[in-house]
Every structure is written in structure tokens, then in C-alpha cells.
Amino acid sequence: MLSALIWIPVIGGIIIGFLPNQLAEKSRSLALVIGSIILAFTLAIGLQFDPNQSGLFLSESFSWLDQLGLTYYLGVDGLALPLIFINSFLTLIAIYTSSTKLARPRFYYALLLFLSAGTAGAFLAQNVLLFFLFYEVELIPLYFLIAIWGGTNRGYAATKFLLYTAISGALVLASFLGIVWLTGASSFDYDVLRSQVLPLSSQIILLLILLAGFAIKIPFFPFHTWLPDAHVEASTPISVLLAGVLLKLGTYGLLRFGIGLFPDAWNLLAPYLAIWAAVSALFGALAAIAQKDMKRVVAYSSIAHMAYILLAAAAATPLSLTAAVAQMISHGLISALLFLLVGVVGKKTGTRDVDTLRGLLNPERGLPIIGSLLILGVMASAGIPGMAGFISEFIVFRGSFSVFPIATLLCLVGTGLTAVYFLLMINRVFFGRLPLAFSNLPAVPWSDHVPAIVLAILIVTLGLQPNWLVRWSETQTASLSNFDTETLAEVRPASRSLLQPGQSIKESQWWRSL
């Protein structure tokens, strides 16, 4: 069942890749069919999920390479399920929004499906080496997707992306090798590793390596420089996937492996992580204000919004961890919507320059529906109540404030700045008088509206019915944050020195006295 999420797109991709020349036109429809099948499968898996239970509710395990400790062990729990859903959903949207007049369609759709398979595999993997394998698998398809179908400077952006992500992968691998070797575990299986106890000092070193690896992927300031380039050069569907799903691999890794494998070190480093989150959020927001390219604005806002996840993860209260997952979902949907609409604006007007565009909201000759949807997306991103962004950001701050008040307040300022840069953008691009140059815009066909409308409906629904957003992961993340009951029941020898006798580690959060 779970393997189907990986193997259907792989096999579909291979079939599409080897379609004969006459059938090349059909590759899009075929990809759509495969995408729908994957989404249907995801929904079927979701139906079996009981939100009250933590732990894996579906799993598959085969031995693979025993000498390496690499097993083909897939599983899905409340943390992975929403992300898998987002992946399948956005893959379908990306296929749908891809231009019908693409060059080399077979190669394109095959790569898109490989990308989806790799991402699903990474979310499903319950063996850290398997996770690493899938984490690296998506590298080459994405590289080609940017390098072949991207903008003018695509070669540079694609290579930059490739090298940054390859370094990220190397760091993650080093950390995984380190934990297995230091604990002397017999395999790379996640649950085996989770039951191991490491001395605090080695936990800290390994966690720092892991953090650096994922920080490149997410990305956090100062490792973010590849992201704006990649977004600007990538075509719209690829930007949607990159912001909506691929960046989540990093934050998923933080939650699953950072907190899951190194709980003590995470606890110790948490205050610094919170400060880092605040810096990254403020940097992203301020940088977004200065941007002239609409896509760059959205890209920098993405950096700012991903930082909230780090803040929530650092606080590591049950509420804030649920919030982290909720923020991943809502950011996935919102940034996908924003990139879609910015892509339409860019396609219709031929530019994404904030200084040139004016008055596009003009109801007769402009792009009124696109404009309205974009305003909705921007409102969601800025955390206006009634939309998914509000819910997730609110619980992020609500969950983290008690632990890191200052960092949370700084992040709140970042949210305020979201309104600033997006309103600046909206104000310039959509209001005012439509200049003559843009007065004869081609009509936007309905097919361009559909995905954006679907996303918008989803964003509003989740905003009005927040339970659907957080219910998935609540139980699972609660068990993840349970340092005191589970993992520290046998108080670790190394971390004992930090604790007063009889005190749980939650109470010992030393920075609280500051």
C-alpha cells in the first residue's frame, strides 16, 4: 500500500519517459491520470488513519542491504500523513498547471513523477539511511526541471541548487553515520536509533551537523542564498513543488530526526534555535520588502515563514509541535497558491517587476480574478483570521510564547512585516491605473483559475475548520514532545548532571530563569 506511493509514480515516469514519439502529446494526460491515482491512494491511506492513536498506523518492512543496516522500512504516522497528502496534492496541481506546449514533455513529466516518488519516499522512510537515499534521489530530477524548463539564468540557479543540496545531503549523512556508529546500533532503523541513549556531548555535535544540513534545505538565514535564485528561475509548477513540498523535507527532518533522535541536545540548544528562528524570520521579511521581482518577494516570505517552524520546534511543547506541522501544511498550501498566481501574472504580462506592473485589478482589462485570489493568498500568508495561515501562526506563537517570549515577539514582528511587503507588492501591482502597456492582456482561461481556486477553498476551509488542520498530527507530535515521560524515564547518565534530582527535563529548561 505504502510502496504504491513510491512505485506508481516511478513506473508511471518510466512509461512516460519511453513513450514513442507519436504519443509524446499524450504524456500530459497520462501524467494527470497517474497523479490522480496517487492522490486517490493517499486519500485511501488517510481513511485508515485514527487520529487518536500515535505511532505508525501502516508500515511495510523488507530486509534490503543487511550489511549496511539499510532496510526497506516504510511507515506512516500522524506527522508524515499530512505531508504526504500535500505532496500528492501539489504534484497533481503541478502537473495540471504545466504548460500544454512544453518542450520535451515526456522527459518533463517523467521527472516530475520521479520527484514526487522521491519526496513521498523520504516522508515514508522509517530507516534513516533510506530517508537519506530518497532525500538525495529528488536532487537530479529537480536539477533538470530547473535547468531545462527554467528562466534565462537557469543553468546557474540549477547548479547552485544542486551543490547546496548535495552539501546538505552530505551533512545529514555524516550525522546519521555518526549516531549509528556512536550508539553501536545494529541498523539504521529509526525506532532502533530512537531507543539508543547517547552522551550529551556527542548528541550536540551530531545535532549541529544535522541542523546545518537541514538548514540549507529549509533554508534558514544564512544558508538561504540558493532559494531565491532557484525560485526565480524555476517555472511555476516547479516553484509550487519546491516551496510547497521540497522545503518541508527539511523541517520534517528537524522534527523527526532532530527532536526524535537528539532530544537532550535539542533541549539544550533550543534557546539558540529560537533566536536563530527570529533572526531568520526578520531577515526574510526585511529582505522581502526590498525585492522588486514578485517571485523573489514570495521566495523571501517563504524563508520567513519557514522560520516559524523552527521557533515552534525549538519550543517543543505539545502545542507548538502541532503548530509546526500545521504551519508546514498551511505554508505549503499558501506558498503554492502565491507562486501559482504570481506565475499567471508573469505569464500574462511578461514581467514580474513590481515597479512596472500597475492596476492589474482593473475589472475589465486586467486580471481581476487572479488579483482577488492573490489578495486572498496574501491575507492568508499575513495571518488574517479566517484562513489557514492565521490558525497555524497563532498556535505557533501561542505554543512558543510561554517558552521563548522574546524570540516569539520578534517573530510576531516578522508576521507584521509580512503585511508590509505583501501590501507594498499588491498595492503597486494591482491598484492604481492600468498603464497602456498592459491594457490588452490575453484572457486567463478557466483552466488557469481552477488550481488556484481549489487551493484558495482549501485554505479558507482549513481556516474556518482548524480542527481538520491540526487533528492529524496532534497525538503524534504530543508523543514526540514527551521527553519527560518516555525517553527520559531512565534518566540519561550524561544529562543527569543538568538535572536536579527528581526534576524532569521540562522543568529544568534553564533559560526560563533568565
**Contact positions vs another protein (CB under 8 A):** 64-68, 70, 103, 129, 133-134, 136-137, 139-140, 143-144, 147-148, 155, 158-159, 162-163, 166-167, 170, 173-174, 177-178, 181
Q: Return the number of the residue (150 or 258) whose C-beta is nearest another protein.
A: 150
Q: In whole angstroms, how close is the CB of 199 to another protein at the nearest point?
A: 17
Q: Return the number of the residue (133 or 491) whose C-beta is nearest another protein.
A: 133
Please state the φ and ψ torsions of residue 45, each to the nearest 5 degrees: -65, -40
Please state the φ and ψ torsions of residue 499, each to the nearest 5 degrees: -105, 145
Handedness of CA 270, 276, 279, 280 (dihedral sign): negative
Residue 91 has which C-alpha cell? 504534484
Q: In whole angstroms, how close is the CB of 116 to another protein at the nearest point?
A: 15
Strand 70-76 relative to strand 58-65: parallel, antiparallel, unpaired?
A: antiparallel
Which region holds residue 377: left if phi is over 0, alpha if psi is between -120 and 50, else beta?
A: alpha
Would you call 151 exposed, middle or buried from its count of C-beta atoms within 10 A (0-12, 13-18, 19+)? Answer: middle
- How far apart are the C-alpha atoms of 100 and 354, rounded to whole Å? 28
Q: Return the number of the residue (160 or 449) whose C-beta is nearest another protein.
A: 160
Q: Return the number of the residue (4 or 170) whose C-beta is nearest another protein.
A: 170
CA dist 378 to 63, 406, 410, 459, Å?
47, 26, 21, 11
Q: Return the number of the residue (66 or 507) whose C-beta is nearest another protein.
A: 66
Name residue 280's amino acid.
Answer: S
Q: In whole angstroms, how close is the CB of 173 to another protein at the nearest point?
A: 7
Name residue 26's amino acid.
Answer: K
Q: Return the number of the residue (89 or 132) whose C-beta is nearest another protein.
A: 132
Handedness of CA 330, 163, 74, 309 (dihedral sign): negative
Which region holds residue 35: left if phi is over 0, alpha if psi is between -120 and 50, else beta?
A: alpha
Q: In whole angstroms, how close is the CB of 71 to another protein at the nearest point?
A: 11
Q: In whole angstroms, how close is the CB of 172 to another protein at the nearest point?
A: 10
Q: In whole angstroms, how close is the CB of 490 to another protein at the nearest point?
A: 27
Q: Return the number of the residue (158 or 429) whose C-beta is nearest another protein.
A: 158
Q: In whole angstroms, how close is the CB of 196 to another protein at the nearest point?
A: 16
